[in-house]
Amino acid sequence: MDDILIGRRACARRDDYHYMKFSIYSSRIRQMIIFVLSAIVLPCGMAYGSAASGSGMTLSKTTFARLPGWERDNQAEALLAFRQSCAEIVNRNPESYKAALQEHVSTQTWQAVCKAAAALHQADNRTAREFFESWFVPFHVRDREDSTGLFTGYYMPVIHARLQADKRYTVPVHALPDDWVKIDLGAFYPDMAGKTLVGQVKDHLLYPYPERRAIIKGALAGKARVLAWADNPVDVYFAQVQGSSLVELPDRQRFIIGYAGDNGHRYTSIGKILIAKREISREAVSMQSIRAWIMRHPDQAENLMNQNASYVFFKKLDYSQPLGTEKIPLTPRRSLAVDQRYLPLGAPVWLSTSVPAYDGKHASKPFQRLLVTQDTGGAIKGIVRGDVYWGSGDQAAYIAGHMNSPGQYWILLPRTQA
Single out the residue of 274, 171, 159, 167 nearest to residue 215, CA to CA. Answer: 171
- Average pLDDT value for residue range 189-201: 89
Spell out the residues 6+ positions from residue 332 whose beta carbon is closer than 8 angstroms to its own: 389, 390, 391, 396
Q: Which residues of 159-191 are buried (b: 16+ CB within 10 A; e: fewer)?
A: bbbbeeeeeebebbbbbbbeebeeeeeeeeeee
- Rounded to 5 degrees, φ, ψ at 219 are -65, -20
* Digit-coded pLDDT (tens) for 93-123: 988 888 889 887 899 999 999 999 999 988 9
- Average pLDDT value for residue range 193-203: 89
Who has greater pLDDT, 287 or 181? 181
CB 356 within 8 A of CB 409: no
Lowest mean pLDDT among 169-178, 356-365, 399-408: 356-365
- With 70 as the cut, is the pLDDT of residue 18 above it? no
What is the pLDDT, as a whole number, of residue 28?
39
Who has greater pLDDT, 85 or 41? 85
What is the pLDDT, as a whole number, of residue 47?
40
Residue 385's DSSP bridge partners are: 150
Q: How far apart are the first and last CA of the chain?
A: 15
- Rounded to 5 degrees, φ, ψ at 312 are -100, 140
What is the pLDDT, as a whole number, of residue 363?
83
Q: How far apart are the C-alpha atoms of 177 and 179, rounded to whole Å?
A: 6
Residue 96's DSSP bridge partners are: none
Single out the residue of 375, 401, 376 nearest to residue 154, CA to CA. Answer: 401
Residue 199's DSSP bridge partners are: 181, 208
What is the pLDDT, as a whole number, of residue 38?
44
Alpha helices in 186-257 (DSSP H): 212-214, 233-242
- With 90 as the cut, is the pLDDT of residue 2 above it? no
- With 70 as the cut, is the pLDDT of residue 221 above it? yes
What is the pLDDT, as a whole number, of residue 361?
61
Long-range CB contacts (within 8 A, 24+) of 184-189: none
Residue 314: Cβ-neighbour burial (10 angstroms; 0-12, 13-18, 19+): buried
> Which residue type sits at 238?
F
Pair type for strands 385-392 and 149-156: parallel
What is the pLDDT, as a whole number, of residue 10?
32
What is the pLDDT, as a whole number, of residue 322?
86
- With 50 as the cut, is the pLDDT of residue 19 above it? no
Pair type for strands 244-248 and 158-162: parallel
Pair type for strands 335-337 and 348-356: unpaired
Q: How far apart are the C-alpha atoms of 79 and 66, rounded to whole Å?
A: 20
- With 80 as the cut, is the pLDDT of residue 69 above it? yes
Q: Within 13 Å, how many C-alpha atoms sit on residue 74's CB side?
A: 8
Lowest mean pLDDT among 80-89, 133-142, 206-215, 373-382: 373-382
What is the pLDDT, as a whole number, of residue 122?
84
What is the pLDDT, as a whole number, of residue 284?
87
* Digit-coded pLDDT (tens) for 35-45: 444 443 433 33
What is the pLDDT, as a whole number, of residue 318?
85
The number of residues making up the chain comes to 418
Q: How far apart are the C-alpha atoms of 78 and 68, rounded to whole Å?
A: 16
> Which residue type sits at 315?
K
Beta strands in 339-403 (DSSP E): 348-356, 364-375, 385-392
- Rounded to 5 degrees, φ, ψ at 414 are -55, 135
- Identify the band that residue 394 occupies on the pLDDT scale cut at 50, 70 and 90: confident
Q: What is the overall mean pLDDT for the chain?
A: 86
* Digit-coded pLDDT (tens) for 127-172: 999 999 999 999 999 998 899 999 999 999 999 999 999 999 999 9
What is the pLDDT, as a whole number, of residue 3?
54
* Digit-coded pLDDT (tens) for 43-63: 333 344 433 445 789 999 999
pTM equals 0.73
What is the pLDDT, as a whole number, of residue 262?
94
- Identify the band that residue 73 occupies on the pLDDT scale cut at 50, 70 and 90: very high
Helix, strand, or coil here: 38?
helix
